[in-house]
């Protein structure tokens, strides 16, 4: 009895590694690097688990169990399926026992084999050789089509990776130039350098000449000071010394009085000052709906737009699995969460649910990597995804811990964005709530926004009453009201700003919107 043979079939995977990296590691494990067919099989099985793709065919039981164990170590679950060896052996036996008989591949009619090599079935008139040739041609065309599709997808992934690396290198180069760690070699720089050397030589000549002139003047000054000293020694009396000391004391007193206001000005806290013009200009920007997002801490808004365009292109090509892999490569977790929301929304609108597990796994991955300031935003994005899928109760439960963190007053240090206005945790929490409201409004989920506004009003009670934090908090609330379409309420919040100049300019900005 021949040995049993099996096919190794991919069921699903739970690895957090991107699919392209996982495919590369599995190719190394199988010692199949550079084999496009096996690479295609692995990619198809990992990206489309429902296809139950066979990776290895007709292997022994020991070999199949070995690879199944090794795949499981890499978080890839497989199954063993018996190879259709029995049918093959049966057909072989029939062929061996009936060398002079031809069996039709369509109706299995048996008839004497023709020596000409072209066996036409007497029952169904099928030419066996042509039929087998056509079947083989169709199989080759289907296989080549799958390989070509995989190669196209691979080229797209490689192009995206090259673009990302090029952009990162450009950003690093610009950073080095900005920090003076690297300089550009320009003709103007060379001309400036030559001019600087010439000026240094000329300055050296002038310095030498000046030193010689000063030495001559110094000798004359020494002689004159000696004469003056002798004259003062003869003419000065004790009462004159007292008279001289008195003006010196008055001058010292005036000096102390003149420095006291300067010290008081320096030590005066910034929060007690009137809101400056620069601060007012920054507050005006908060009222704009498309104001720059301060929580994309690792990438700029321009970079986010470029990444968004790449994602939209993948979704247009109907490649949601590649879009998820692209999102998982981003360095900014909140930006990745926003893009993942677009993938989830696209899949929900198309009523596709094959990638739900991958989306959920990626959200968990983003939550584990997000910094403290972005945790509420990523959590709110996850809750928003559940709302898009119609899971209202789960969405509310997922957001509850985030709302409790925002209400707390003993965790301010976790909610401070570096180099932002106010530098106060409670004020920054209002900024986070504003961003959550914007995200819900953008995805047409305005229902929970009133609860967010109520939470913002509670946080407002704990904001310091100094001019700048108070003005910033009122402006953030007004901006949130504008997002949900409550312009009158926004006017009321801005009217409560205590600084007159800031209040007037912000109300004027509101009226112009």
Answer yes or no: do 445 and 402 share one domain. Answer: yes
Answer yes or no: do 241 and 283 share one domain. Answer: no
Answer yes or no: do 336 and 439 share one domain. Answer: yes
Residue 240 has pLDDT above 50, yes or no: no
For 25, phi and psi rounded to 5 degrees? -65, -40
pLDDT of residue 342: 92
What is the residue whose two structure tokens read 């031809």? Answer: 102
SS3 (DSSP) at 77: strand
Answer yes or no: do 362 and 482 share one domain. Answer: yes
Q: Residue 34, exposed/middle/buried by CB under 10 A (0-12, 13-18, 19+)? A: exposed
Ranges 54-68, 232-246, 342-356, 484-498: which has the least confidence: 232-246
At 324, list the tokens.
């998820």
Residue 169, in any domain of the structure:
no
Strand blocks (E) in 291-405: none
pLDDT of residue 241: 40
Answer yes or no: do 369 and 426 share one domain. Answer: yes
Ranges 82-86, 273-277, 313-317, 496-500: which has the least confidence: 82-86
pLDDT of residue 257: 43
Q: What is the pLDDT of residues 383-425, one digit of tens each?
A: 999 988 888 888 888 888 888 888 888 777 667 665 444 447 8
**Distance (Å, rounded) from C-alpha 283 to C-alpha 471?**
8
At 161, list the tokens.
């990776």
Q: Which of 156, 175, 203 is the last residue of a domain?
A: 156
Answer yes or no: do 198 and 143 share one domain. Answer: no
Burial 425-442, CB ≥16 within 10 A → b, else e: bbbbbbbbbbbbbbbbbe
Q: How far is CA 428 from the centre of its chain?
A: 20
Answer yes or no: do 142 and 64 share one domain. Answer: yes
- Cβ contacts of 353-358, under 8 Å, gap ≥ 24: 354/48, 354/50, 355/320, 355/321, 355/324, 357/12, 358/321, 358/324
Residue 377 has pLDDT above 80, yes or no: yes
Residue 168, in any domain of the structure:
no
Answer yes or no: do 24 and 85 share one domain. Answer: yes
Q: What is the pLDDT of residues 426-454, one digit of tens each?
A: 888 888 998 999 999 888 888 888 888 99
Specify which of 21-35, 104-118, 283-297 reaches the highest per-range mean pLDDT: 21-35
Residue 456 has pLDDT above 60, yes or no: yes
Number of domains in the chain: 3
Residue 263, in any domain of the structure:
no
Report CA Rg, the chain: 40
Q: What is the pLDDT of residues 300-317, one digit of tens each?
A: 888 888 999 989 988 888
Residue 76 has pLDDT above 60, yes or no: yes
Domain limits for position 235: 187-253
The reply to whether the predicted model has a pTM over 0.95 is no
pLDDT of residue 198: 67
pLDDT band with cut points at 50, 70 and 90 for residue 242: very low
pLDDT of residue 197: 63
Residue 161, in any domain of the structure:
no
Q: Which of 136, 156, 176 is the last residue of a domain?
A: 156
Q: What is the pLDDT of residues 350-365, one digit of tens each?
A: 888 888 888 988 988 8
**Distance (Å, rounded) from C-alpha 243 to C-alpha 37?**
106
Residue 233 has pLDDT above 80, yes or no: no
Written as one string, the DSSP assignment of 183-235 is ----HHHHHHHHHHHHHHHHHHHHHHHHHHHHHHHHHHHHHHHHHHHHHHHHH
Residue 171, in any domain of the structure:
no
Q: What is the pLDDT of residues 249-303, one digit of tens each?
A: 444 443 334 434 333 333 333 444 478 888 888 888 888 877 877 777 778 888 8
């Amino acid at each position: 009895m021949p040995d049993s043979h099996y096919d190794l079939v991919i069921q699903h995977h739970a690895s957090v590694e991107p699919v392209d990296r996982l495919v590369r590691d599995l190719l190394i494990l199988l010692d199949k690097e550079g084999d496009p067919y096996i690479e295609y099989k692995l990619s198809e099985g990992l990206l489309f688990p429902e296809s139950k793709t066979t990776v290895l065919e007709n292997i022994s039981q020991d070999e199949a169990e070995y690879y199944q164990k090794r795949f499981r170590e890499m978080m890839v679950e497989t199954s063993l399926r018996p190879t259709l060896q029995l049918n093959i052996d049966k057909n072989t036996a029939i062929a061996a026992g009936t060398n002079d008989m031809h069996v039709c591949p369509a109706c299995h009619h048996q008839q004497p084999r023709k020596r000409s090599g072209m066996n036409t079935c007497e029952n169904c008139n099928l030419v066996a050789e042509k039929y087998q040739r056509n079947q083989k041609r169709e199989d080759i065309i289907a296989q080549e089509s799958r390989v070509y599709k995989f190669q196209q997808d691979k080229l797209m992934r490689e192009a995206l990776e090259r673009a990302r690396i090029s952009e990162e290198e450009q950003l690093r180069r610009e950073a080095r130039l900005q920090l003076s760690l690297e300089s550009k070699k320009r003709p103007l720089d060379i001309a400036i350098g030559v001019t600087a050397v010439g000026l240094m030589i000329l300055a050296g000549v002038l310095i030498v000449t000046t030193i010689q002139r000063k030495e001559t003047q110094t000798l004359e000054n020494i002689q004159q000071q000696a004469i003056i000293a002798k004259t003062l020694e003869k003419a000065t009396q004790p009462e004159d010394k007292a008279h001289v000391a008195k003006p010196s004391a008055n001058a010292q007193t005036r000096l102390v009085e003149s420095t006291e206001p300067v010290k008081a000005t320096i030590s005066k806290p910034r929060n007690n000052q009137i809101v400056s013009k620069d601060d007012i200009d920054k507050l005006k920007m908060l009222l704009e709906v498309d104001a720059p997002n301060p929580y994309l801490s690792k990438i700029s808004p321009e970079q986010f737009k470029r990444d968004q365009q790449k994602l939209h292109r993948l979704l247009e090509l109907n490649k949601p699995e590649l879009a998820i892999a692209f999102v998982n490569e981003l360095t900014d977790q909140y930006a990745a969460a926003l893009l993942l929301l677009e993938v989830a929304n696209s899949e929900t609108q198309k009523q596709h649910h094959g990638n739900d597990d991958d989306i959920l796994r990626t959200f968990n991955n983003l939550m584990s990597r997000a910094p403290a300031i972005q945790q509420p935003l990523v959590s709110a994005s996850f809750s928003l995804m559940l709302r898009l899928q119609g899971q209202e109760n789960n969405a509310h439960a997922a957001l509850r811990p985030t709302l409790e963190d925002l209400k707390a007053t003993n965790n301010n240090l976790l909610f401070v964005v570096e180099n932002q206005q106010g530098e106060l945790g409670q004020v920054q929490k209002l900024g986070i709530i504003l961003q959550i409201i914007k995200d819900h409004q953008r995805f047409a989920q305005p229902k929970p926004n009133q609860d967010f506004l109520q939470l913002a009003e509670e946080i407002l009670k704990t904001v310091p009453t100094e001019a700048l934090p108070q003005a910033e908090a009122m402006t953030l609330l007004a901006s949130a009201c504008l997002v949900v379409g409550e312009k009158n309420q926004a006017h009321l919040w801005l009217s409560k700003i205590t600084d007159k100049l800031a209040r007037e300019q912000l109300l004027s900005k509101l009226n112009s919107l």
